[in-house]
Amino acid sequence: MIREFHDELEADLLEFFNVDLLDVWRGRLSIRRIGVLIDSLMRKPGKSTLLMAMDERAAWSESDYLLARVSDALELSNFLFLKANASESDDLEFPAPVTRPGDPEPSQQPAPQPEFASGQEVVDFFGRMNSL
């Protein structure tokens, strides 16, 4: 495990800063400077292999997570639109969210299907809301 982190750190230092980790033993690089460089690497989500080795969720940047969230919301919106305009006999599958790095594997059990109100229940609900 430590060997993996060492290799990732060495690769990142060379890629981003053009610094060889062996320079510590050559007397050209201080431990403090390595700490500063590692701190900088920890702020490079989606780019730093060291950070991705430490935490899988770092493989995506914040904008990647936001795009996945937008995609999930769009899929849900389309599903709800189709469900509202489909006949009762149409069986539509609930959309699966975009898998994100570091998320646990989905279980083999089917996801619970949401229960939707019938048309009459919706009419009754809005009728009661109108009479308030």
Q: What band does 69 get if pLDDT is binned at 50, 70 and 90?
A: very high
Alpha carbon separation from 78 to 82, 84, 96, 115 (Å, rounded): 6, 10, 13, 17
Res. 73: pLDDT tops 60: yes
> What pLDDT digit, counting tens, does each position of 90-105 carry?
788 889 898 888 777 7
Cα–Cα distance for residue pair 18/124, rounded to 1 Å = 69
> What pLDDT digit, counting tens, does each position of 9-48 carry?
777 777 777 888 788 888 888 888 888 887 777 776 556 6
